[in-house]
Every structure is written in structure tokens, then in C-alpha cells.
Amino acid sequence: MSGVYDLREDGHSSGWVESMRARRIGPDECDADALGRLIRSGRPAEAVVLAGVAITRARGPAEIARVLLMKLGALLNLGRTSECPAVVDEAYAALTRCDEPALLGEFHALAANVAYHQGSLDRCVTHLVSGGRALERVRKADHIAAMAWLDLAVTYSNIGFHGHAMTAHQRSQAIAAAADLDPVDFAHPEIRIRYAISLDHQGDSEMCARLLAEALDELGPDDVAPFELPYLGYAQARLATLRPPPDGGPGPLMWADVDPTGEANELRQLADACLAIAGGQPNLALTRLALAEACVTVFGAAEVPRLRAIAHVALGDHESAHRAERDVARQVSQSVNRLHDLFVEGISARLDHDELRRRATQYADEAHTDPLTGLPNRRHLERYVDELTAMGRVGSIGVADLDGFKIVNTVHGHLSGDRVLQRVAAILTRTLRRGDFLARFGGDEFVIVLPGTDPAEAQEVSERLAAAIAADDWEAIVPGTPVTLTVGWAELNARTGILAAFQAADMGMLRAKAQWRAAGGKGAAAR
């Protein structure tokens, strides 16, 4: 994890040297900004410890959320992912008490990373998309928004969604420029370089070389944060394996003063093999690659066999190069299959969760909901009309019936009939006006209540409903059996009551239905 999670409000970099010399923070000055300084100075463990103090000093839910997000970022940097879910829950609870879309975007970026470490690609991507949507609501260009987009980009890059990573990174840099922030904090060459290497693994070496060259042309040691220097150094060494440097060698790598730990150590091991290839020592490169088998964190398991293939080509051993390339293809395929498996497992887990929720609420809901269509049922309808008339309101009630529905069940079966009823329910729901009420009364019969609507206006609504049903593509579901709708209407008020109004509407529907049959079953009728 090379992302640095930082939610400063001042929008200015404190500088790497200053941050590396960050002094010890006392309880009286412990806040979200102080935790950010600790993280940037390479002291995330201290940030985790002091987060508890900072929460007690925080004023309001937004500040509490900032502190919790700092703690979450520090835990991710430390690799202590098992402690993250509880912090995710706390941060979300704080964010529900305030309207801070930038903080919400940052929350989703971090929660996505947690979900991925837990093996749930579905939840990870859900968080990433939710984070992007939250950040679209941000109207202020500031450090928090820019950093949130950057963390979205880092997570997209880590899971191999490189196109989305590049787009989010561009948004981050654009916001940083608009807010006059230090571009060094948002350069993050790892996103571009990881994308370039992935292209080489897929066989597009020319585009990989071009992207690496562009990154090196645009960025130098002074343009990136020190912890990103190993990525530039690796781009420099890796490019030399694909395209001979104009001066005969890649020159000194850009990381002389960087502590070779974690990702930097992995990049250095791989770069040593690249330099051996570029220096005309492919046998040395193969020896170094044998020691770098565990280097799979940054670029995945395909990078070592890809470099091995390049070394074998340099030796003229094309049979071994072919075997290595087959290993590259296998690793790429396994990575894709793993994403597929994670996605399917995530969907399965979500369905299980939805089923648990459904079971938990079914006893409360089933008394008033039709299980097939999800519409209110007869009991719900009666309660709604009682409440409506008790308030002295009037309107119109309609009984709607599908024409010739029995043919659908006879020709296509009851499962197709159920699909027709579900689609009819959806069409009627979206065609009705805001405030209108729709229930399934039974079979293929629906009841519509239009509060404050006289019979003439109800007739106009009826025609729209019948037209919407007739216009749908029923051939895709029940070919050869068109679906049409007939509606009968009656006035609804406290004096007549629901029973009398329903009977009148039902009789109106039956009269219209008789007219429909007399016309040879063409079109739809409504009264």
C-alpha cells in the first residue's frame, strides 16, 4: 500500500524534510491534522494510538469522521486490516450525522480497500462507485476532495481496474491544480507505471514503453514524494529492457536515499534484474529473478516471468522464453479468474444478506405486501382508503384487469404469467403520478386510487396506463399473446365507502371488458 491517506484542511504540503522531523504531539494539540502529520512522517502506529485522544477533542460529527478516517488510513498503511471493519462502522456512523460529501468520498475509498483485503470485490467496487458519486457532489476544490479522488485512484489501481484508476487520478490532479495545492502530493506515478506494466503483461510492449517514457519525461525526483521515487526508478530500469536508452544505459536510479523496505525493496530487486538485462548480463538477471520470486505485491505474479522471458530472448533461448511467456499468460489469466471468483462470491454473499434481511422483515411486511409484484395488497389497500376517507379526502378508484390473461398462462405457463404480472406492476407504477396509489387485488386484477382526482381526469390517467401497457414489448416474454389493460372507475368518498366504490368500479371494468370482446378483442377499453 503506497497511498498516503491524508485529510489536511490547510491544503499545503508541510514538506518531506519537515514531516520526517515531526515532533512528538502532546494531548492538547492532538487533532486530525496532527494525525495527518504523523502519517506523513512515517509514524502511522502513533497516529492509531493518538486517534482515541483526538476523538475526545473533536467537535461535531464531521471532525470525528476526519479523525476516524485518519485512523483507518493509518491502519491500512500498517497492514492491520483486521482492525479496520470496526473503524469503518464508526466512521460511517459519524458521517450519517453530517453532510460532508468529500469526507464520504474518502470514507468509501478507504472502505473499498478494506473490502478488497477481506476478499469481497463486490463490496470493494460498490464502495468505489459510491465514493465517486459522493465526490461528484463536492463543489469546493480543496485538499480533502483531491486526496479522496487520489485514494480512489490508488485502490482502483491496486485491484487492476487501471482505466478507472487513471480517470480518478486525473480528477485528483485537476482539483489539486484548481486549489493551488502542491502537485508533488498528487503526482503518484505508481498509478501510471502499474498501468503501463499491465499492458506489457497483456502483450502491448510498445504502449508500455511509450507510457513509461512519458512518465519519466514529465516527472523527475523533485516532482514526486520521496516514497514514490522507487516507482520512477523502476520505470527507468524497466524501460531499458524494452527500449535501449539513447546514451547506452539507464543511468543512476532515482532512489538512492530511499529506505529499501516494503514496496521499495521489491521494486529494487526487480530493477536489479532489469539493469542486468539492459547491461547485457541476462544470466545475472535470471539469477536475480530466482531470488525475486516473492516479488508479487506491486505488479502481480506476472512480472517476474515476464522479465525472465526478456532475459531468455537476450540469451537467444527462445524455447525457454516461450515457456516463460506461457507462465505470464497463466498468471494474468489466474488474476482475472480470481477477480471473477471474488465477484461471484461477493454477489453470493450479498444475496445471502438480502435473504436474511427479507426473512427478518417478512413477517412485518407480508401482511401488507403482495409477494409476487411487491405492490401493496388488499389489506394495505383497505387501510390506505380508510385513512384517506377519514381525513375527508375524495378521489377516484379504479379496477384494472388484463385482457385475455388466461391465454398467457395456457400458452406460455404460469412462470411467464408471473413475469407478465411483475412487468405490468412496474409499468403501472412508473406511469402513475406522484401520490397515486397502486395495489394488486388478486390474480391479474389491480386497484388504483387517485386522491383528489375527478372521474374526467381519472379517464385521462386510464388512457395513459392502457397505452403504456399496450406499447411494451410483450413479444420478448410471451410471443403471440399481446397484453392489454381495461380499467373501470368510480368516485371515492367517505359517504359511499370503499366497498360500494369498488363494486361500482368493478362493474365499470366489466362493461368495458364486454365492449372489448364485442370489438373482437382489439385495443383496450376504459370507463
Residues spanned by the domain of 464: 378-518
Long-range Cβ pairs for the range 176-180 (8 Å, 24+): 176/143, 176/146, 178/141, 179/11, 179/141, 179/142, 179/143, 179/145, 179/146, 180/11
Total of domains in the chain: 1
* All three cell numbers of 132: 465517486
**459 class by beta-carbon count within 10 Å (0-12 exposed, 13-18 middle, 19+ buried):** middle
Pairing of strands 485-492, 437-442: unpaired
Q: Which residues pair with 491 in a beta bridge?
A: 396
Q: Which amino acid is at 40?
A: R
Report the CATH number at residue 391. 3.30.70.270
Cα–Cα distance measured from residue 524 to residue 427, given in angstroms and rounded to the nearest whole number: 16
The answer to whether position 501 is within a domain reads yes
- Whether 472 maps to a domain, the answer reads yes
User: Within a domain: residue 314?
Assistant: no
Query: To 5 degrees, how large is the angle CA 66–CA 71–CA 75?
Result: 145
3-state secondary structure of 501: helix
Among the listed residues 207, 187, 185, 188, the one whose alpha carbon sits nearest the alpha carbon of residue 198: 207
For the packed helices 229-242 and 263-278, what is the interaxial angle rounded to 10 degrees? 20
- CA dihedral in degrees (504, 505, 506, 507; nearest 10)? 50
Using a 10 angstrom Cβ sphere, with 0-12 exposed, 13-18 middle and 19 or more buried, the burial of residue 342 is buried
Per run of 10 residues, the mean pLDDT along the chain (length 527 residues) is: 43 34 53 77 82 85 90 88 86 90 94 82 82 92 93 92 93 95 92 95 95 93 86 93 75 61 83 92 95 86 94 95 93 78 62 56 63 86 84 88 86 81 90 89 92 87 91 81 90 80 89 79 49
Q: In whole angstroms, what is the distance from residue 132 CA to residue 324 CA?
A: 39
Contact residues for 139 (Cβ-Cβ < 8 A; gap 6+): none
- Of the CA atoms within 13 Å of residue 82, those in its CB half-sphere come to 0
State residue 274's pLDDT score.
93
| Residue 17 confidence (pLDDT) | 30
Domain annotation covers residue 474 = yes
Q: Give the residue ranges of DSSP H helices in 228-317.
A: 229-242, 263-278, 282-290, 303-315
Distance CA 133, CA 156 (A): 15
Is 116 within a domain?
no
Q: Are 501 and 391 in contact (CB under 8 A)?
A: no
Neighbours of 134 (CB within 10 A): 21
If 0-12 CB within 10 Å is exposed, 13-18 middle and 19+ buried, where does residue 476 land?
exposed
d(CA 154, CA 375): 43
Helix (H) or strand (E) holding 440: strand 437-442
Assigned domain for 222 exists:
no
Euclidean distance between CA atoms 118 and 127, whole angstroms: 13
Q: Which amino acid is at 406?
A: K
Give the pLDDT score at 250.
62
For residues 68 and 4, give the distance between their C-alpha atoms in angstroms, rounded to a whole number.
15
Kindly report the number of other CB atoms within 10 A of residue 485's CB atom: 24
Work out the number of other CB atoms within 10 angstroms of the CB of residue 374: 13
Residue 427 located in a structural domain: yes
Instruction: Print burial letters for 180-190: b (CB count within 10 Å at least 16), e (below 16).
Output: ebeebbbbbbb
DSSP secondary structure, 374-425, as one string: --B-HHHHHHHHHHHHHTT--EEEEEEEETTHHHHHHHH-HHHHHHHHHHHH
Domain presence at residue 412: yes
